[in-house]
Structure 1
Amino acid sequence: MIKTPGIYPLHQIIHPNPPVAEVPHSATPRIGRNSVIGVNSMVIGDVYVSDDVFIGFNNVIRADSSAPFFIGPRTNIQDFVLIHCHPAQYIKADGRKMGVYIEDSVSILHHAAPHGPLFVGRNTFIGQHASIYDARIGRNCVIMHGAVITNGVSIPDNRFVEPGQNVWRQAQADALPQVPEQYRKLNSQIVDHYYRLGKSYQRNTSLVF
């Protein structure tokens, strides 16, 4: 881990959480090698950000009401994304209680709100303005723009949620179709782009650290 706690010149904030009853111990975020954090983004509390993660501009990742959070390698969190968790609620992942657990190579687009307790499987795409609160999302899923997923549902692997669709009953989740052919490479293309974009920001700008 290479980034130390602090408030950086372009208002990137990496900071321990203040202790409360639901999260009684203060913890400092751990940021992986070659990960980038853009202007006005903050990471607070017991958050493990893996290697090669892109965190863009104006994002908020707060593990101050439930912890820990895990963000897997090569995940991209674009702009104006909020990641938080309901107080003292958890999912089970990697043999542990977690507030939010995001596997590797996940894309979370602008203005999305993935809210815990939450698990997101690898190679899943979460579109703009998607709202997710208390759910398990499988691997290789495509959650399109403006979708709403809540109420503790579990979405199986390889499923497609249409733009603006609401999924709040398990029967709805079980009935979701397979990802259509035209969207099956969507996430891998976005992951590749943001991996390269993050490296270019590091080499050519002062907008990330």
Structure 2
Amino acid sequence: MIAMHKLSGIYPLQQILYRNPPVREAPLPVEPTVSLNAVVAANSIVIGDVTVEDDVFIGFHTVIRADASPPYYIGPRTNIQDFAMIHAHPGEFVEWEGRRYGVYIESDVSILHHGSLHGPLFVGRGTFVGLRVSISAATIGRHCVVMHGAVVADGVRIADNRFVEPGRTVWTQEQADALPEVPERYKTLNADIVDYYCRLGKAYKASTPLAF
């Protein structure tokens, strides 16, 4: 991991990276910790104890708000696209490697435009979350594909390599356990998007004034 900066301020393109206000559920004001190799696009907001790792792409008008149930973790090479929202229910957590998190997103995850993710939440490495997907209080395994418009809720646990079809609602564990494996045609979908957004983020930083 390259150098990380604790950041607090309002930046020239209206990126807001700021400490959370103290409330009972998040009593200590903590600034975001953002890799110097991450990309934060114009008009995005990152609040509170959020760690953003190398090569993360945070798109335009995206909100990541750790003012309840911090900390949050955003793993390397994850892309969180325009108008996405990440938050958590106050006082509820997932556990990962002996520590509690409101939201934990492993590496190489894609969250497409208008995705709404609400913790307590874990999203495993290499998982694809499609357009306008809503996830609340769930554990999503590694290398899953959650297609556009799907809803996943109510504390379900989805195993690795599972497929949620477009518009599907998964809110019981029985439904989660019955999900099929990712079809062959979608197995490279996420890797292609991760590669694109890693390259795109570097291009934005090198060639435009639209991100830092």
Q: Indicate whether the TM-score tops 0.5.
A: yes
- Counterpart CA distance in 1 for 2:176 and 2:6 is 39
Equivalent position of 2:211 in the other structure = 208
- Deviation digits for residues 137-179 of structure 1, max 9, x if unmatched? 0000000000000000000000000000000000000000000
Secondary structure of the residue that 1:73 maps to in structure 2? coil
Equivalent position of 1:48 in the other structure = 51
Equivalent position of 2:163 in the other structure = 160
1:3 Cα offset (Å): 6.2
Does 2:181 align with 1:178? yes
Q: Which AA in structure 1 matches 2:107?
A: D
1:93 Cα offset (Å): 1.1
The percent of aligned pairs where both chains have the same amino acid is 62
TM-score, with length taken from structure 2: 0.97
TM-score, with length taken from structure 1: 0.99
- Counterpart CA distance in 1 for 2:67 and 2:78 is 21
1:22 Cα offset (Å): 0.8
Equivalent position of 2:112 in the other structure = 109
1:94 Cα offset (Å): 2.3
Equivalent position of 1:140 in the other structure = 143
Secondary structure of the residue that 2:155 maps to in structure 1? strand
What is the number of residues matched between the two proteins? Answer: 209
* Structure 2: stretches of 5+ with no match in the other structure: none
State which of 13, 34, 52 in structure 2 corresponds to 1:31: 34
State which of 81, 102, 114 in structure 2 corresponds to 1:99: 102
Equivalent position of 1:131 in the other structure = 134
- Deviation digits for residues 9-49 of structure 1, max 9, x if unmatched? 11001100000011111100000131000010010000000
Misfit runs of 4+, over 6 Å: none
Equivalent position of 1:65 in the other structure = 68
Secondary structure of the residue that 1:187 maps to in structure 2? helix
Q: Which AA in structure 2 matches 1:159?
A: R
